[in-house]
Amino acid sequence: MTRPPVRALLSSALSLGVLLTATACSSLIPRPQTAPRPAVPPTTPPSQATTHRSTTPPSPTADRALTRAQAEAALVTEADVGEPWTSSQGPATWRDGLLKATTKAPDCQRLLDALYAEELFGADARPRAVIGLDDPWNEAQMRYQIFAPRPADMDRTLAWMKTLPRKCDRFTAKTAHGHVQRVQVSEAPLPDAGDARQGLRVSLRGETDYGDTTLLRLEVAAVRVGDDAISVSNGGLGEVSSDVTRGAVELGARRLKEVRRHGRVEV
């Protein structure tokens, strides 16, 4: 496959940078033309009171819950990232071939399982919104998810991820096809986005049945934004742009905060 020029490879990162700069002048999420009404309605005069008034106060948890529409409005899309990214056509072929692997170290196995299933926050944390994007030039794939896990679960996940560059610095794993992968894990720097964050860079190097060398690079990030969380995975068999990963994290955290403040404008 003909390699695209370096300038084209950087186009997605430049698109994110332009969009992030533009947020200083305009809101990422359209705002209504009229001011929102107060959250607490005016008290009903005694003469107009009904006999069916509920005495149960609204649940604070329900008030904080992110709706599906809000979560979808907060997603980072292919329009934000720019070329060559497009809507995903399905899981990448390297996912089953290389990430479905086993190792003896428990924390490293947990990492491989989380990467394969794309469940950094655990199997019980279901995404409120998710989008998959493909970079056909570099056989790369990005998956961006928004969650609303329990705060304690978010903190535990971030704390666990922070230990992995030490616990799983270098280890070996065997794929379902019996190929040995040499795995390396290091910390991936992230922008100062959200309330807490942790990034990892993972590489898996091995060989096929025909003696060809494979090298899978992955960048993953988990970000806490108030009561919500973002996970980003960006990986592939070719070039993997750290600028795209960091840009998606920063833009996504800002957009999620904006949606939280103003809600999604119905059109």
Question: What's the rounded mean pLDDT across residues 67-81?
Answer: 93
Residues 6 or more apart whose Cβ sits within 8 Å of residue 52 = none
Residue 23 lies in a domain: no
Kindly report the pTM of this predicted structure: 0.74
Joined together, the tokens standing for residue 28 give 């990422």
pLDDT of residue 138: 84
At 39 the pLDDT is: 40
* Residues with Cβ within 8 Å of residue 185, at least 6 apart in sequence: 108, 111, 164, 165, 168, 169, 170, 200, 201, 202
- Mean pLDDT over 235-264 rounds to 91
> Number of structural domains, the chain?
1
Q: Is residue 1 part of a domain?
A: no
pLDDT at 12: 39
Position 263 confidence tier, pLDDT thresholds 50, 70, 90: low
User: Average pLDDT of 99-121?
Assistant: 95
CA of 127: how far to CAs of 39, 145, 172, 228, in Å? 27, 6, 30, 10
Residues constituting the chain: 267
pLDDT in tens, 130-187: 999 999 888 899 999 999 888 899 999 999 999 999 999 999 999 988 999 999 999 9
Residue 221 has pLDDT above 90, yes or no: yes
238 DSSP β-pair partners? none
Determine, yes or no, domain membership for 49: no
Residue 83: inside a domain: yes
pLDDT value at 220 more than 70: yes
User: At a CB cut-off of 8 Å and minimum separation 6, what does 217 contact?
Assistant: 201, 202, 203, 235, 236, 237, 240
pLDDT for 46? 39
pLDDT tens per residue across span 33-70: 333 433 434 434 434 433 333 333 433 433 467 888 99
Pairing of strands 180-187, 196-207: antiparallel
The predicted pLDDT at position 35 comes to 39
Is residue 93 one of the residues assigned to a domain? yes
User: What span, in angstroms and rounded, lies between the C-alpha atoms of 147 and 63?
Assistant: 16
Supply the pLDDT for residue 50. Answer: 37
**Structure tokens given for 9:** 């490879």
Judged against a pLDDT cut of 50, whether residue 128 lies above it is answered with: yes
- Residue 96 DSSP label: I
Res. 214: pLDDT tops 50: yes
- Give the percent of the chain with pLDDT over 70: 74
pLDDT band at residue 215 under the 50/70/90 scheme = very high
| Residue 11 placed within a domain | no
- Residue 173 is part of a domain; what is its CATH number? 3.40.1000
DSSP-derived secondary structure letter, 95: I
Q: What percent of the chain has pLDDT over 90?
A: 58
- H runs (alpha helix) in the chain: 6-9, 11-22, 60-64, 68-73, 78-81, 93-94, 106-117, 151-167, 242-262
Top pLDDT among 147 and 124 is at 147
Alpha helices (runs of H) in 37-136, residue ranges in sequence order? 60-64, 68-73, 78-81, 93-94, 106-117
**Structure token digits, residue 123:** 């199997």
* 8 A C-beta contact, residue 146 and residue 182: no
Residue 2 sits at φ, ψ, to 5 deg, of -70, 130
Within-domain flag for 161: yes
Give the tokens for residue 178.
């019996």
Residue 265 has pLDDT above 60, yes or no: no
pLDDT at position 230 is 96
Looking at residue 86, what is its pLDDT? 94
The edge-to-edge listing of strands for the beta sheet with 86-87 is 86-87, 129-135, 140-147, 228-236, 213-225, 196-207, 180-187, 170-175, 101-102
Residue 194 lies in domain: 63-238+248-262
Domain for residue 154, yes or no?
yes
Evaluated on CA atoms 212, 104, 123, 260, the torsion sign reads negative
pLDDT tens string 186-205: 999 999 999 999 999 999 99
